[in-house]
Structures are given as structure tokens and as C-alpha cells.
A = this chain, B = another copy of it.
Amino acid sequence: MYDGPNIVPIAALIGDQARASMLTALMSGEALTATELAAEANITKQTASGHLAKLREAGLIVVASQGRHRYFRLANKDVADLLETLMGVAERTGSRRVIPGPKDAQLRKARVCYDHLAGEMGVELFDSLQKRQLILLAKDDSELQLTSSGRKFFNGLEITPNLPASSRRPLCRVCLDWSVRRHHLAGAYGAALLEHCFSKKWAKRVEGSRVVQFSKRGELQFRSELIN
């Protein structure tokens, strides 16, 4: 007797720190190998392998074999949307990740938060966008709107999120940074902006960490083009 979709196994899969880390690492859309994902989740590759098999069996991720590598990615945009929705609820209920670690100056400056830019540069960018009224934050911080001039601004720079029409991912979302009350930009445009930084070669990700490393020239161009 079947009666409706069963949300339990799906939620249970995401409700594990290691698997959630791997899934969110995949939110950038990039396909990653099992070893990379193991490092991302701070577990051994055996454990990762087991988790990935479960995620695959549940249809949350898909795998493509290439030589001796196996590249994993999210199965579809639905799954990314689900993760995004979860982040939204977690954000509003005040549940945040607490990561005990060295107060790395690089991490403070610029790092990846899921698939968008966080750290001082992320906050700086957010403040500037808000000041120029390219984005509009509701009074209760619940919603972030892209204004029409904001849309023009991004279009002019050819920064456009590539979303299927069916996607329900919000274009802009706020995401709270370490120091409470400092926001940075999440959502589809947040992801597109970080992608822009990578494709313009302003910055690159440091292997095995969340650090986003801007070159001297990249940082200057980032500021002149985006911060104003």
C-alpha cells in the first residue's frame, strides 16, 4: 500500500554532518571526486564511499565514471533547491554552524560559504550593493530583493545566474557572517558572483579549504568593478 511520498529517508540522509557537508560542497554545481568529498567532510574515504553510495541510491546525487575517477554531482536542481530551502529555515531558526578552528586571516578575508562569497570581502560587497540600492533588505531581514537598477547592474557585467525556469531558488538571499549583524549575499546571484570572480581569474579556491584567494590584481579589479 503506497500513500504519498516518504520524506523520512531523504531528510535522514541530509541530517548527518558528513553527508550534509558533501552535499553542500556539491551545491556549486561542480562535480567532485570521492576523495575530495571525503576531505570536505573530514572523514576517511571508506566512510565517504559508504555515504556516497547511500546518497546515490536515494537519487540525491549521480555519478559519472571517468578513468579511475568517479565524479559525483547533485542529481538535479530539485535537490539544490531543497538544500537552499533548508538553509533558509536553518538561518531563520538561528541554527548556525559552529566550526572550532584557527582564526585564519585568509579565511576571515574571503572564503566560500556553500556556493557564494563570505568573509570581509563578501560583507564589503554586500554593504556596497545595499548602499547603492542595488539590493533591498526588508526590515525584518527576512527577504532580500534585487532592485531593477540592481538587475541592470548585473546584466551590464554579464553576471546572470543560470537557473532553469522551474527553479525556485531565490535570486538573492542574505546569509549571516561570523560577526552577527553582518550579512553577505547568498542565493542565485550570490553564486553567480563568486563564479564571476573565478572565471575572471580574480581569485581561486585553495585546495582542501574554504579559502578564496584573490590575487593583488584580482582584488583591485573586484573592488573597481563591483564595490565602486
Contact = CB atoms under 8 A, between A and B. Distances in A.
Interface residues of A, number: 61
A13 interface: yes
Contacts of A210: 3
Contacts of A24: 7
Contacts of A14: 7-8, 11, 15
Contacts of A20: 7-8, 11
- Which of the listed residues A1, A79, A89, A99 has the most CB atoms from chain B within 10 Å of its own CB? A89
A203 interface: no
Given A2-B177, A85-B85, A10 B93 contact: yes
Interface of A: 1-17, 20, 24, 58-60, 75-76, 78-79, 81-83, 85-101, 103, 111, 113-114, 118, 142-143, 166, 168, 175-178, 180, 210
